[in-house]
Amino acid sequence: MNIFVLVKRTFDTEEKIVVTGGAIQEDGAEFIINPYDEYAIEEAIQVRDAQGGEVTVVTLGGEDAEKQLRTALAMGADKAVLINTEDDLDELDQFSAAYILAEYLKDKEADLILGGNVAIDGGSGQVGPRVAELLGINYVTTITKLEIDGKTVKIVRDVEGDSEVLEAELPLLVTAQQGLNEPRYPSLPGIMKAKKKPLEELELDDLDIDEDDVKAKTTTVEIYLPAQKVAGRVLEGDLSDQVKELVSLLHSEAKVV
């Protein structure tokens, strides 16, 4: 089985994030594999271990993303590919990412492509489905279970908290939802071996892509942090007065009733 995983390097949203001049400060931020992509990597490794084959992890970005690829290799992926867009493109959007990934994947004869359901930074959830569209293969998003039997794939997907059971055929692209599996920690021998696994670096030129064809089609107007939570208000006095005040506040201030 020829398996590909689309991986994104994102900042760790559990760490402190500083926004200055409309951009997230990279200095001091922690970078991780997008957590949903970790489920995808784990699933890919499990499928490979059960069915045989090879797992290739692919990312778009700069040199810095090598670290996340090495982590995926340490978890157990076989090969990694970094499509380095640092010198060619200032900004990538979902359109550009999907286009580049599809160009890379189109002659790879992938049986199964996995990605995260969303990236916790941009949160669009578009790249996976767009890649599948460009490749002309089936796709299923937000999956929580995957069973492969020959060419047939049985899938459970999360639909807003409910489950939907579907069947699809390979080749297929799926995006992983929380609950699909429990991603492993890279083992110490795994990390040592990861050093020796192939990590290929490609540029747009290598994929015969003209940078004008992949220019972002969207522009980011503004980036800001959510408003700071302020302390709640404690109502006092007679209980019936409190109720009256509460209703009036819900109406006039919170504007919910």
* Residues that bind other proteins in the complex, under the rule CB under 8 A: 67, 70-71, 74, 184-192, 195
Asked if residues 59 and 65 have their Cβ atoms less than 8 Å apart, the reply is: yes
Minimum distance from CB of 170 to other proteins (Å)?
A: 30
Instruction: State the Cα–Cα distance between residues 165 and 177, nearest whole angstrom.
Output: 14
Minimum distance from CB of 251 to other proteins (Å)?
A: 39
Residue 188 or 254 having the CB closest to other proteins: 188
The identity of residue 20, as a single letter, is: T
Residue 188 or 256 having the CB closest to other proteins: 188
Q: Where are the alpha helices (DSSP H) in the chain?
A: 35-51, 66-75, 94-105, 127-135, 188-194, 239-252
Minimum distance from CB of 194 to other proteins (Å)?
A: 8
Residue 151 or 195 having the CB closest to other proteins: 195
Give the up-direction half-sphere exposure of residue 66: CA atoms within 13 A in the CB hemisphere. 13
Asked if residues 115 and 133 have their Cβ atoms less than 8 Å apart, the reply is: no
Minimum distance from CB of 74 to other proteins (Å)?
A: 7
Instruction: State the Cα–Cα distance between residues 214 and 209, nearest whole angstrom.
Output: 8
Residue 4 or 11 having the CB closest to other proteins: 11
